Amino acid sequence: MLPEALDTLPQWVVDGALLGLALSLAVAGLFYVLVRFFPSETPEYQTEVDSETRRRAEMRDYLDAIGEQYAEGHFVEGQHVAFYLPKRDVAITFDARAYYRIARTDTEPVLVEHELPGVALGYRLPFETPDVDFGADENGRLSPREAAHAALGLPVGATVDEIKGAYRERVKEVHPDHGGDEDEFKRLREAYTTAKKHAG
Protein backbone atom coordinates (compact mmCIF):
# COMPACT_ATOMS: atom_id res chain seq x y z
CA MET A 1 0.00 0.00 0.00
CA LEU A 2 2.86 2.40 0.85
CA PRO A 3 4.67 2.01 -2.51
CA GLU A 4 1.41 2.89 -4.30
CA ALA A 5 1.12 6.07 -2.18
CA LEU A 6 4.69 6.99 -3.12
CA ASP A 7 3.84 6.56 -6.81
CA THR A 8 1.11 9.20 -6.49
CA LEU A 9 3.49 11.78 -4.94
CA PRO A 10 5.40 14.13 -7.19
CA GLN A 11 9.02 13.11 -7.72
CA TRP A 12 10.37 16.33 -6.14
CA VAL A 13 8.59 15.50 -2.81
CA VAL A 14 10.13 12.02 -2.70
CA ASP A 15 13.57 13.41 -3.64
CA GLY A 16 13.27 16.15 -0.98
CA ALA A 17 12.30 13.65 1.73
CA LEU A 18 15.21 11.34 0.85
CA LEU A 19 17.65 14.26 0.71
CA GLY A 20 16.38 15.52 4.12
CA LEU A 21 16.80 12.04 5.64
CA ALA A 22 20.32 11.69 4.22
CA LEU A 23 21.36 15.14 5.51
CA SER A 24 19.90 14.42 8.97
CA LEU A 25 21.86 11.18 9.19
CA ALA A 26 25.04 12.95 8.04
CA VAL A 27 24.68 15.71 10.68
CA ALA A 28 23.91 13.14 13.42
CA GLY A 29 26.99 11.15 12.39
CA LEU A 30 29.13 14.30 12.44
CA PHE A 31 27.96 15.19 15.95
CA TYR A 32 28.64 11.65 17.14
CA VAL A 33 32.18 11.72 15.75
CA LEU A 34 32.89 15.18 17.23
CA VAL A 35 31.59 14.25 20.69
CA ARG A 36 33.34 10.89 20.66
CA PHE A 37 36.77 12.04 19.50
CA PHE A 38 36.80 15.65 20.76
CA PRO A 39 35.12 15.64 24.18
CA SER A 40 34.62 18.83 26.13
CA GLU A 41 37.66 19.78 28.21
CA THR A 42 35.60 20.92 31.21
CA PRO A 43 32.96 18.32 32.07
CA GLU A 44 29.92 19.37 34.10
CA TYR A 45 30.93 17.19 37.07
CA GLN A 46 34.33 18.93 37.38
CA THR A 47 33.45 20.81 40.61
CA GLU A 48 32.19 17.63 42.28
CA VAL A 49 35.39 15.78 41.44
CA ASP A 50 37.48 18.73 42.69
CA SER A 51 35.44 18.87 45.91
CA GLU A 52 35.91 15.17 46.62
CA THR A 53 39.61 15.37 45.80
CA ARG A 54 40.04 18.30 48.19
CA ARG A 55 38.08 16.54 50.95
CA ARG A 56 40.13 13.37 50.57
CA ALA A 57 43.33 15.41 50.90
CA GLU A 58 42.00 17.14 54.04
CA MET A 59 40.95 13.81 55.57
CA ARG A 60 44.32 12.30 54.71
CA ASP A 61 46.02 15.23 56.47
CA TYR A 62 43.76 14.80 59.50
CA LEU A 63 44.35 11.05 59.77
CA ASP A 64 48.10 11.64 59.46
CA ALA A 65 47.92 14.34 62.15
CA ILE A 66 46.23 12.01 64.65
CA GLY A 67 48.63 9.19 63.78
CA GLU A 68 45.97 6.83 62.47
CA GLN A 69 46.99 4.18 59.92
CA TYR A 70 44.68 3.98 56.91
CA ALA A 71 44.25 2.42 53.49
CA GLU A 72 42.81 4.67 50.82
CA GLY A 73 40.41 3.37 48.15
CA HIS A 74 40.03 0.05 49.97
CA PHE A 75 37.32 -2.60 49.51
CA VAL A 76 35.42 -3.55 52.66
CA GLU A 77 32.77 -6.27 52.55
CA GLY A 78 32.66 -5.86 48.75
CA GLN A 79 32.12 -2.08 49.02
CA HIS A 80 34.61 0.53 47.85
CA VAL A 81 35.34 3.02 50.66
CA ALA A 82 37.36 6.24 50.76
CA PHE A 83 39.44 5.23 53.80
CA TYR A 84 39.75 2.08 55.88
CA LEU A 85 41.34 2.15 59.34
CA PRO A 86 42.58 -1.44 59.79
CA LYS A 87 43.52 -1.22 63.48
CA ARG A 88 40.06 0.09 64.36
CA ASP A 89 38.10 -1.83 61.69
CA VAL A 90 36.46 1.46 60.61
CA ALA A 91 35.39 2.26 57.03
CA ILE A 92 34.95 5.91 55.96
CA THR A 93 32.79 6.40 52.89
CA PHE A 94 31.05 9.13 50.88
CA ASP A 95 28.52 6.57 49.54
CA ALA A 96 25.31 6.05 51.56
CA ARG A 97 24.64 2.66 49.95
CA ALA A 98 28.08 1.39 50.94
CA TYR A 99 27.50 2.75 54.46
CA TYR A 100 24.25 0.79 54.92
CA ARG A 101 25.73 -2.41 53.49
CA ILE A 102 28.78 -2.22 55.74
CA ALA A 103 26.58 -1.40 58.75
CA ARG A 104 25.26 -5.00 58.61
CA THR A 105 28.79 -6.34 59.25
CA ASP A 106 31.25 -6.16 62.13
CA THR A 107 33.08 -3.22 60.51
CA GLU A 108 32.09 0.21 61.85
CA PRO A 109 31.04 2.48 58.92
CA VAL A 110 31.34 6.27 58.97
CA LEU A 111 29.37 8.27 56.40
CA VAL A 112 30.78 11.68 55.46
CA GLU A 113 29.49 14.37 53.12
CA HIS A 114 31.62 16.00 50.43
CA GLU A 115 31.19 19.30 52.31
CA LEU A 116 32.62 17.96 55.60
CA PRO A 117 35.94 19.67 56.36
CA GLY A 118 38.76 17.23 57.06
CA VAL A 119 39.30 18.61 60.58
CA ALA A 120 35.67 17.78 61.43
CA LEU A 121 36.20 14.07 60.71
CA GLY A 122 37.16 13.46 64.35
CA TYR A 123 33.55 14.08 65.45
CA ARG A 124 32.32 11.28 63.19
CA LEU A 125 34.87 8.65 64.15
CA PRO A 126 33.61 6.03 66.66
CA PHE A 127 36.63 6.43 68.95
CA GLU A 128 38.34 9.19 70.95
CA THR A 129 40.49 11.43 68.78
CA PRO A 130 43.11 13.90 69.97
CA ASP A 131 42.66 17.62 69.42
CA VAL A 132 44.67 18.67 66.39
CA ASP A 133 45.91 22.18 65.74
CA PHE A 134 47.65 22.25 62.39
CA GLY A 135 49.26 25.63 63.17
CA ALA A 136 50.53 28.07 60.55
CA ASP A 137 52.29 26.55 57.58
CA GLU A 138 55.70 27.53 56.16
CA ASN A 139 54.06 30.38 54.20
CA GLY A 140 52.57 31.86 57.39
CA ARG A 141 48.99 30.96 56.55
CA LEU A 142 46.56 30.56 59.45
CA SER A 143 45.71 27.21 60.98
CA PRO A 144 42.21 25.89 60.17
CA ARG A 145 41.02 27.00 63.63
CA GLU A 146 42.36 30.54 63.26
CA ALA A 147 41.11 30.79 59.66
CA ALA A 148 37.63 29.62 60.69
CA HIS A 149 37.35 32.20 63.45
CA ALA A 150 38.72 34.91 61.15
CA ALA A 151 36.09 34.06 58.50
CA LEU A 152 33.41 34.57 61.14
CA GLY A 153 35.03 37.79 62.36
CA LEU A 154 35.71 36.35 65.81
CA PRO A 155 38.73 35.91 68.07
CA VAL A 156 40.02 32.36 68.56
CA GLY A 157 38.60 32.06 72.09
CA ALA A 158 34.97 32.75 71.05
CA THR A 159 32.16 30.79 72.74
CA VAL A 160 29.71 28.51 70.91
CA ASP A 161 26.95 31.13 71.27
CA GLU A 162 29.19 33.82 69.77
CA ILE A 163 30.07 31.49 66.88
CA LYS A 164 26.40 30.72 66.20
CA GLY A 165 25.49 34.42 66.30
CA ALA A 166 28.32 35.42 63.96
CA TYR A 167 27.38 32.60 61.58
CA ARG A 168 23.72 33.71 61.45
CA GLU A 169 24.78 37.28 60.65
CA ARG A 170 27.26 36.23 57.93
CA VAL A 171 24.75 33.83 56.34
CA LYS A 172 22.45 36.78 55.64
CA GLU A 173 25.20 38.32 53.51
CA VAL A 174 26.55 35.28 51.64
CA HIS A 175 23.61 32.85 51.24
CA PRO A 176 22.80 32.22 47.54
CA ASP A 177 19.09 32.84 48.23
CA HIS A 178 20.02 36.39 49.26
CA GLY A 179 22.21 37.04 46.22
CA GLY A 180 25.42 35.64 47.71
CA ASP A 181 28.01 33.37 46.17
CA GLU A 182 27.67 29.56 46.48
CA ASP A 183 31.40 29.01 47.03
CA GLU A 184 31.60 31.71 49.69
CA PHE A 185 28.58 30.16 51.43
CA LYS A 186 30.30 26.73 51.45
CA ARG A 187 33.45 28.27 52.90
CA LEU A 188 31.36 29.94 55.63
CA ARG A 189 29.70 26.61 56.53
CA GLU A 190 33.12 24.96 56.74
CA ALA A 191 34.38 27.79 58.96
CA TYR A 192 31.32 27.43 61.21
CA THR A 193 31.85 23.66 61.57
CA THR A 194 35.54 24.09 62.35
CA ALA A 195 35.02 26.96 64.80
CA LYS A 196 32.32 25.01 66.69
CA LYS A 197 34.63 22.00 66.94
CA HIS A 198 37.33 24.10 68.58
CA ALA A 199 35.04 26.22 70.77
CA GLY A 200 36.17 26.26 74.41
Q: Say which DSSP state 176 is in.
A: G
Beta bridge partners of 91: 84, 109
Phi, psi of 72 (to 5 degrees): -95, 140
Per-residue model confidence (pLDDT) at position 129? 83
Residue 9: how many other CB atoms lie within 10 Å:
10
Domain that holds residue 106: 46-124
Q: What is the CATH number of the domain that holds 190?
A: 1.10.287.110
Query: Which tens digit of pLDDT belongs to each residue from 98-131?
Result: 999 999 999 999 998 876 777 778 878 999 888 7
Do 24 and 51 lie in a common domain? no
Is 136 part of a structural domain of the chain? no
Q: What is the value of pTM for the model shown?
A: 0.48
Residues 106 and 118 in one domain: yes
* Domain-embedded: residue 88: yes
* 5 falls within a domain: no
Whether 150 is covered by a domain: the verdict is yes
Residue 187 lies in a domain: yes
Q: Into how many domains does the chain fold?
A: 3
pLDDT of 49 reads 46
In a domain, 172, yes or no: yes
85-93, Cβ contacts within 8 angstroms, sequence gap of 24 or more: 88/126, 88/127, 90/125, 90/126, 90/127, 92/59, 92/121, 92/124
Same domain (yes/no): 21, 34: yes
Q: Is residue 7 part of a domain?
A: no
Which of the residues in the chain have pLDDT under 70?
1-7, 39-51, 115, 132-143, 200
Give the integer Cα–Cα distance in Å for 140 and 46.
Answer: 30
pLDDT at residue 59, rounded to an integer: 87
